[in-house]
Structure 1
Amino acid sequence: MKKLLDQSLRPLVIYAMVVLAVSIPVYFLIIDWIWENELDKHHYAIREKLEKRLTSLNLPDAEVGEMIGVLDKVQPGFSFSEAVSPRPDSAYTLIRFDTFMNDREQFRCLLTDIRVNGKLFRVLVETNMEEIDETILAIAAVTVFFFVLLLAGFIYLNRKTALRIWRPFYDTLAGLHTFRLEKGIPPPLPESDVTEFADLNRSLAVLMDESLASYRQQKEFTENASHELQTPLAIVKSKLDLLLQSRSLDKPQMQLLEEAYQAINRVTRINKNLLLLARIEHAQFDEQADIAVPGILTELAAQFSDRFENSSITYTEDAQELVLAANPVLLEILVTNLLVNAVRYTPAGGHVQAYVGKRELSVFNTGTMPLQEASLFRRFTNVSSEHAGSGLGLAIAREICERYGWRISYRFEGGLHHFTVHF
């Protein structure tokens, strides 16, 4: 996950780095062009001065030739030669070995003509450009330094300013993190003089109030519906008990009553399970305690001894030390539902095994075919055509796991159903 401030800064930093990378060669080319242009102007100025001064001396041709010969030998950067006819000027850059510096150097050259006493001379004027390269590097280094300094300052100031501007948003976000429907009280949202944040807080306040109202209505409906259903179900069940005890009923009538009695029992279990699911979803099991999982597993497995015996199912248990901070009622329901599920899908003469590891609880049981994984933990779904249940046991187990951030998984391997809760 990336922070919002980083998302806004990243394109700016990338753009600045691209501009910096492009600016370095551009700086080099522009400065190099400026230097060459200035050197060419300087060379033409030297040419003009040289021609005027030599002409103004009014020396005989012989002395002019001697002076030019002396200049050609002792003056660095000049080279004279007699020319037959004028030629166009030529300005160029040359890299050659310099005997004075004893190294290869870069020179800016001007090859031009001058006329002294009516005699034409070809003049080569050279200037060493090594200092120009050093100047370009120095200017580029200083430019990069101040560019980086400017970018760092921009990032720092932008972060400081953005944090101050976005402070109401982060305060609102912190308040939302503490919001819980089961508490029934919306968290206070900070006031802000920024129009967008003020509108956001007003919208969130309305949304939380509406969510709390819907939560209260749903909670009241669930509790009332469950309570109202319990009374008629209990009455119907008691009436069926009385009818079953009657001796005036024949066998077909008794069979019909038994089917009705089983249906009422199933509806009663569904009603209790739905109420339990609603209470779990509404976080009405807030109490927590440190619970030893091996102890509660052994205690609950003992309650299934008759069912194991009636179905000729062997039960084994392998448990390591594991203590969880959870609600005791919910943990008992989770373990019970896993054991009930194992007994339901284990054929007669099969085997059920429970294992408690360092951070997991597994229940294995003998099976003939895999369960339907797509609908395994959904409500009111039968995952096997051979055994019918209320379709809520595994849904309740999954809801409990989600309540605590645990993960429940299933796989069929080696003729065994594997249900594992990863804590």
Structure 2
Amino acid sequence: MKLSEHYTRTSIYSTLMVLLAGAVIYYFAIKYIAQQQLDRGLQQQLTEAEEYVRSSNQDPQQYDLDKDHAVFIKTNQWQLQKRFFDTTYFNPKEQRKEAGRAVEDLVKLKDTGYKVIITISRAGQKYLIEVITIITLALLAGLLSVLFISNKYFLNGLWKPFQLTLKEIKQFNIADVDQFKGKPSKVDEFAELNKAIREMSLRVTHDYLNLKQFTENASHEMMTPLAVVTTKLDTLIQDETLSAEQLAQITDIYSSINKSSRLNQSLLLLAKLENKLITDEIPISLDTVLSEKMLQFQELMQTKDLSFKHNLQAKQVLASKYLIDILLNNLFSNAIRHNSSGGVIIIELNGEQLSIKNTGATHSLDEQMIFERFQKGKDSQGTGLGLTLVKNICQHYGYIIHYYYESGWHTFTLKF
């Protein structure tokens, strides 16, 4: 949920609770005030009735005046607690029953007591409360609507600089020449945020460029002596005066130097992938490239008496030819290196995925570890970075690489 939506929802809920509580209090307050007004009117009517009884000096009679209704009942009681209460009565003028408010008290005439009940209509009060309630609810609905609309559009405008800054952060590439600038904002917090991000991006870019330069220099400086050593070893290997033991030792050194060179190149490539420095992309017919790879690895296959089976459908991807070449080289090398003598490699390609199956060890590999750096078998002569490169290249293009073992087959599936 977006922050603006969360704020709008929270503000509307809290406002609704406050307004509902206020509406309830307001309703009962209006009802109480109206009731007090009726009671004051009843008290005045009661006072007039008592004066009427005393002044007429005769038995009081029931009377109706407009919507006021008075009843006198002779009683033997000499004490009666005055009370106000809600009731219903028949209004002779309207010829119907109505809700009313009544007062009951004792009136004395000479030696006789009369219980007087005066009732007045409560219909006007009820109608007034209903009108006030409807108006209050309408105002409440209108206020909530205005609050929702204003929050929705005002907050969207208020958060626009933040959204633009976030968009620029997502598009920021540490290798680009253009630095993070941020969108100007009159809001102090957003302006301060842009300033902090701009300063941080400058520090990160500076550190990255220093690290990049160091990596490139170190790689170059390492490759130069490695090339010299390799050349010298090539010359030594051609020397016919070397004994078998000396030749074996030089061959081991030569193999280690080549491994160091490959390791250096692999680590440099990983650094470029992780920093998204390889951006060249062209349309590549993957089925054609796979056919070429099978021919390239044919000689290596024959050394282990391996055979290819394939089912290739046309598939085109937009990628770097250099990275696709490394991806397939590592998958092919892995399938050949870890295969058993006389084994089989099955390659299947369709519009959705590429799968490479090979026979080999009769147990499953650790799916969580095989793509980690420097994870390799005990007898492996590789650098331990092949499948790590495969995983990083897949992540670079949004592919999904998955390994599983079933019925003696090790399968790597690459979903586009």
Distance 1:98 1:318, change over 3 A: farther
* CA displacement at 1:103 relative to structure 2: 8.0
Query: Secondary structure at 1:181's aligned position in 2?
Result: coil
* CA displacement at 1:406 relative to structure 2: 2.0
2:249 corresponds to which of 237, 249, 256: 256
Asked if the contact 2:68–2:121 (Cα under 8 Å) also holds between the matched residues in 1, the reply is: no
Q: Residue 239 in 1 paired to residue 238 in 2?
A: no
Return the TM-score normalized by structure 1: 0.88
Counting aligned pairs with the same residue, the percent is: 28
2:9 maps to 10
Query: Secondary structure at 2:175's aligned position in 1?
Result: helix
1:395 maps to 388
Q: Residue 78 in 1 paired to residue 77 in 2?
A: no
Distance 1:73 1:132, change over 3 A: closer
Query: Secondary structure at 2:368's aligned position in 1?
Result: helix
Give matches, 1:164-313, under 5 Å.
164-313=157-306
Return the TM-score normalized by structure 2: 0.89
The amino acid that maps onto 2:325 is E
2:367 corresponds to which of 373, 384, 387: 373
What is the rounded CA distance, in whole Å, between the counterparts of 2:52 and 2:131 in structure 1?
Answer: 38
Asked if the contact 2:164–2:183 (Cα under 8 Å) also holds between the matched residues in 1, the reply is: yes
The amino acid that maps onto 2:238 is Q
* CA displacement at 1:76 relative to structure 2: 6.5
2:21 maps to 22
* CA displacement at 1:73 relative to structure 2: 12
What is the rounded CA distance, in whole Å, between the counterparts of 1:210 and 1:246 in structure 2?
Answer: 54
Distance 1:38 1:369, change over 3 A: same
* CA displacement at 1:116 relative to structure 2: 4.4
What is the rounded CA distance, in whole Å, between the counterparts of 1:393 and 1:288 in structure 2?
Answer: 22
What is the rounded CA distance, in whole Å, between the counterparts of 2:119 and 2:222 in structure 1?
Answer: 109
Q: Residue 340 in 1 paired to residue 333 in 2?
A: yes
Asked if the contact 1:94–1:109 (Cα under 8 Å) also holds between the matched residues in 2, the reply is: yes
Q: Residue 328 in 1 paired to residue 327 in 2?
A: no
* CA displacement at 1:312 relative to structure 2: 2.1
Give matches, 1:32-111, under 5 Å.
32-56=31-55, 58=56, 61=58, 64-65=59-60, 68-69=61-62, 71=63, 77-84=69-76, 85-94=78-87, 106-111=99-104
* CA displacement at 1:3 relative to structure 2: 2.0
Distance 1:381 1:102, change over 3 A: farther
The amino acid that maps onto 1:305 is Q
What is the rounded CA distance, in whole Å, between the counterparts of 1:387 and 1:104 in structure 2?
Answer: 102
- Once the two structures are superposed, residues 66-108 of structure 1 have per-residue CA deviations (whole angstroms, 9 ceiling, x without a partner) of xx05x28998633221122231112222468989989876432
1:415 maps to 408
Structure 1 vs Structure 2 CA RMSD? 2.8
Distance 1:203 1:266, change over 3 A: same
2:309 maps to 316
Asked if the contact 1:113–1:122 (Cα under 8 Å) also holds between the matched residues in 2, the reply is: yes
Instruction: Give 5+ residue unaligned stretches, structure 2.
Output: none
Q: Residue 31 in 1 paired to residue 33 in 2?
A: no
The amino acid that maps onto 2:342 is G
- Once the two structures are superposed, residues 255-276 of structure 1 have per-residue CA deviations (whole angstroms, 9 ceiling, x without a partner) of 2112111111211211222222
What is the rounded CA distance, in whole Å, between the counterparts of 1:354 and 1:97 in structure 2?
Answer: 97
Greater shift, 74-83 or 244-253, is seen at 74-83
What is the rounded CA distance, in whole Å, between the counterparts of 1:75 and 1:277 in structure 2?
Answer: 96
* CA displacement at 1:371 relative to structure 2: 1.7
Distance 1:256 1:140, change over 3 A: same
* CA displacement at 1:230 relative to structure 2: 1.8
